[in-house]
Copies of this chain bind each other. A is one copy, B any other.
Amino acid sequence: AALALAPGLAPAPRVASRAAVSMDSSKPVVIGLAADSGCGKSTFMRRVTGIFGGESKFNDIGRETNTLVSEMTTVICLDDYHKWDRTGRKSNPEWPDGITALHKDCQNWDKMAEDVLNLKNGVAVEKPIYNHITGMLDPDEMVSPTPIVIFEGLHPMHDERVNQALDLTIYLDITDDVKFAWKAQRDIAERGATMEEVQKAINDRKPDFSAYVEPQKAKADIIIQVLLSDLIDDATGKFLKVKFIQKKSCPVCESPFLFDKGSKITWTPNGDKLTTSAPGVVLASYDDEWFGEAVSVIEMDGKIDVLDELIYVESAMCSTGTKYYGELTEQMVKNKQAPGSENGTGLFQTLCAFKIREAYESLRK
């Protein structure tokens, strides 16, 4: 299908465009964030947009919208590119057994690619809206470009036209054990579901998730992987080991590390400087492979008790993309109440926000 691009615009291979095209400073930097539903994307987005300042609000269209806008940032939810409404997914003659929102045939790829490319080129778009409350496809909304446009949802890297257009791609990888633990906590404790129901709900989504969402893991520049803690036998998902994985090939931001670049380090911080309750905190930093590509990894296992003391951890982190000593801690403290602030999810989502800023600034130079 031919795309309705603004005149003179065509999709180009991402890496080539990064290297060869000197960025027009009026044009947005576009970021992709892939993550499953119910995995804390809105918290992640709050951490990201927060470092660019200004208030982040829903697009001012006087009705339900998923688009969040601040002076510097726009966050577009890719659910808006669902091809059918909720009823249509369930009673589509093409899909007698229904189709999950995860399936590739359930997204309007052409429109997604068109909008990403137009916004990347500084052109406002009329984009569809999927109404999460009613499950209906609402009338289009006008979205104007801001310096940074983030496309978050199930499939920012599935369609190669979209993937190639993105300047930086991120995959939030909640591993199965953690997903089950979180869902079990919520559905069983709060909604009275049974263990079997929880497992069934996960299993029902699994085939399409594995077929269309998970393969993007290999493509992303940065992966935030969330695993159960190695320090304690905890099935509730309250103690987490989180990895910040960055491809060495990523040209728009540097890989962060602990203490010494290129070394393999495990670090149990000094208990006098960082308050932790059992089982404590262990960090690590090392090089690894990710689907055959060279990556560097920082990981944090466990929880910290006093968020202000994170300044001590920050002081051991290098190439974070912060502009002054303590900026990472400052952001963490500012979002103290947000879920995950006490563990690696909050820390590495915030680190990722600085990497997005670094990418933005390196492309705007």
Contacts and interface: CB of A to CB of B under 8 A. Distances in A.
A199 interface: no
Nearest to A274: B263
Nearest to A312: B260
Interface size class of A (residues with CB under 8 A): 10 to 19
Interface string A269-304: 111110000000000001000000000000000000
A260 B267 contact: yes
Contacts of A260: 259, 267, 269-270, 316
A17 interface: no
A268 interface: yes
B270 A267 contact: no
Nearest to A261: B270
A265 B285 CA distance: 11
A240 to B, nearest CB: 20
Nearest to A285: B267
A267 B268 CA distance: 12
A220 to B, nearest CB: 25
Interface string A9-28: 00000000000000000000
A260 B312 CA distance: 10
A269 B265 CA distance: 8
A249 interface: no
Tell me whether chain A's interface is mostly helix, strand or loop, or mixed: loop
A319 interface: no
A262 B268 CA distance: 9
Interface string A155-186: 00000000000000000000000000000000
B271 A262 contact: yes
Contacts of A269: 260, 263
A127 B270 CA distance: 49
Contacts of A286: 268
A269 B259 CA distance: 11
A325 to B, nearest CB: 16
A46 interface: no
A265 B270 CA distance: 10
A248 interface: no
25 contacts: A259-B259, A259-B260, A259-B265, A259-B267, A259-B316, A260-B267, A260-B269, A260-B270, A260-B316, A262-B270, A262-B271, A262-B272, A262-B273, A263-B267, A263-B268, A263-B269, A263-B270, A264-B267, A264-B268, A265-B265, A265-B266, A265-B267, A265-B268, A266-B266, A268-B286
Contacts of A271: 262
Nearest to A286: B268
A265 B268 CA distance: 6
Contacts of A259: 259-260, 265, 267, 316
A231 to B, nearest CB: 13
Interface in A59-87: none
